[in-house]
Structure 1
């Protein structure tokens, strides 16, 4: 049969004409394939508001955690001779930024009156002569540290608790959810006050309060998504292949829960920042002489009628932090889950 088989030659092939070749090129996939994260980043970059918020947050993180390089003065150093000096930026002659104050309808040089010499304060000083710019950077770092701690507990406890509850199910799930409901019935402020009875006001009490309560919402969301995903075909296929339950939970479930985790994390952070600022504002959070955005706003409101900048600047930084995280969270929600926009 091999001898009788027809031999092929070059004459048996006909070259494709130019027009036909163009039709074949039209059927090619022109764009490269993208992974889930690459596609999400591409969608996020199209959201201008989210990118602006991301840029602002990066700048604030750099200024806060690199404040040793940007601080012009010690944030806790007092100098009563330079108390309540207005903002002054060298080379700028604009009222409100040139070191002058309005006294009896006239602009006077507050730095000359205080004999400040060559000293200048970018955002002015407070009632004890402390540099407001350095204190705002320090307070911003405190707020961001609280936010990172809240994020850690969300990921370390909330995600694990939610996956465990949803994956095991049954009586274990019922018991774990009853525990969460009991914890939800206790307000965060009550937990904080109870901790203050044992510990003095400060970072330790705030961190413990966040450790006890911040992860609950994340656990409930992750548990709900786990219940929805654990009966999907890819999970059933992994079970059929004999993979262990924990391997399925963290190898197959966790990547599919990433969008829910990231989105909820971006909304947890501003909540933690506001919680710390509120506690410091009412006097049961960060204690003096340490600076916090809450304590700075509290100190600034006392002189708001005459020196409004002492309250405006920390309030603006706190507002920018919270708004930027919320806008970025909205952008990540749309990027990671396009169906949410429909």
Structure 2
């Protein structure tokens, strides 16, 4: 038999110190749930752009409060009535203070004797009031209504849903029947009933939202609570004698945060559209107050001859609605574990 080959010490060579011993090692930074959600949200360009648009609108509308208030909105300047948009440095018909009259573009600012250093970026309405200021104030009113709807969603809706899902049994059955009764009454009917007791305005809209807006949030929170209360960590907390309030605040709410945030982002545009619709048909915000719905109502009366008075508030309303919806879609993808990429 052939003699077996034996390995000698010189057949082995030591690896260099700089050589990576574990080239297949996988390492990733440790991220919290919020950090991971923000990382995935940033990948959604539409949601990020929408977030910046929403923030800009909030800053402009609420930041203009010292300059645009109820007194400035009431003050009229008939000599400046129905002036078109004029943007300094822009020489485009329709945006340079000129309007088409009988097929000819006429400088309306020169006809009205407006000083050269005075201009209205969005034009003026039939009373000579700045349309830009009214749009800013109307956007603020619409956002206030949306914030009120969010407040009732977070207080009544979340609390009601957790209690209903946690208690279960007969208590849950009774609470869900109450929600069904409230949901069966259209919000428009509730507003009309509020007008019988209160005068038209933001107060009636807020009361209607307070009565009916939280039911969807309560149902979603209740369904998720029914699943979470049977989890091991909740059972362990109950075994250790933790109170239901502490369990809800420490264990349920953090795990419900994704649903709460996502549903809130869909509540806001619904509330904005609800207010605009009510004001447009004349049972919401009324003069001298203004909102996007009021501006649309006033603009449609002169739409044939002065279309910009309706186009500008309509564009702002559309941008608000689309931005909040795109942001809501982005937050849903970011917070929902099933859509992780």
Question: When the two structures are superposed, what TM-score results if normalisation uses the length of structure 2?
Answer: 0.92
Gapped regions of structure 2 (runs ≥ 5): 1-13
Is the counterpart of residue 35 in structure 1 residue 9 in structure 2? no
In structure 1, C-alpha distance between the alignment counterparts of 2:282 and 2:334, rounded to whole Å: 40
In the alignment, which of 101, 104, 118 is matched to residue 103 of structure 1?
101
After superposition, the C-alpha distances for 1:223-260 in whole angstroms (9 at most, x for unaligned) are 00000111111211222222222211221011000001
Choose which of 11, 21, 24 in structure 2 pairs with 1:23: 21
Look up the match of 2:63.
Answer: 66
**Structure 2: distance between partners of 1:60 and 1:278:** 20
- Normalising by structure 1, report the TM-score: 0.91
Quote the Cα distance in structure 2 between the aligned partners of 1:20 and 1:168.
Answer: 62
Aligned equivalents of 2:191 and 2:129: distance in 1? 29
How many equivalent pairs are there? 327
Offset at residue 340 of structure 1 (A): 4.4
Distance (Å, rounded) in 1 between the aligned partners of 2:19 and 2:157 = 57
Q: What residue is the counterpart of 1:253 in the other structure?
A: 252
Deviation at 1:71? 5.2
C-alpha deviation, 1:92, in angstroms: 1.6
| Residue of structure 2 equivalent to 1:45 | 42
Which deviates more from structure 2 when the two are superposed, residues 60-69 or residues 121-130? 60-69
Partner of residue 91 from structure 1, selected from 89, 100, 123? 89
1:127-148 C-alpha deviation (Å, 9 max, x unpaired): 1111000000000000000000
2:9 match: none
On the 8 A contact 2:82/2:124 being kept in 1, the answer is: yes
**RMSD of Structure 2 on Structure 1 (CA):** 2.0
Gaps of 5+ in 1: 1-15
| Consecutive aligned runs of 4 or more in structure 1 exceeding 6 Å deviation | none
Alpha-carbon separation, structure 2, partners of 1:92 and 1:187: 47
Match of 1:240 in 2: 239
- Residue 120 of structure 1 is matched in structure 2 by 119
C-alpha distance after superposition, 1:50-87 (max 9, x if no partner): 00100100110011001146759933321111110000
Contact 2:73/2:288 (<8 A) preserved: no
CA drift at 1:32: 1.7
The answer for the alignment partner of 1:205 in structure 2 is 204
Contact 2:145 2:271 (8 Å CA) reproduced: yes
Is 1:267–1:326's contact at 8 Å kept on the other side of the alignment? yes
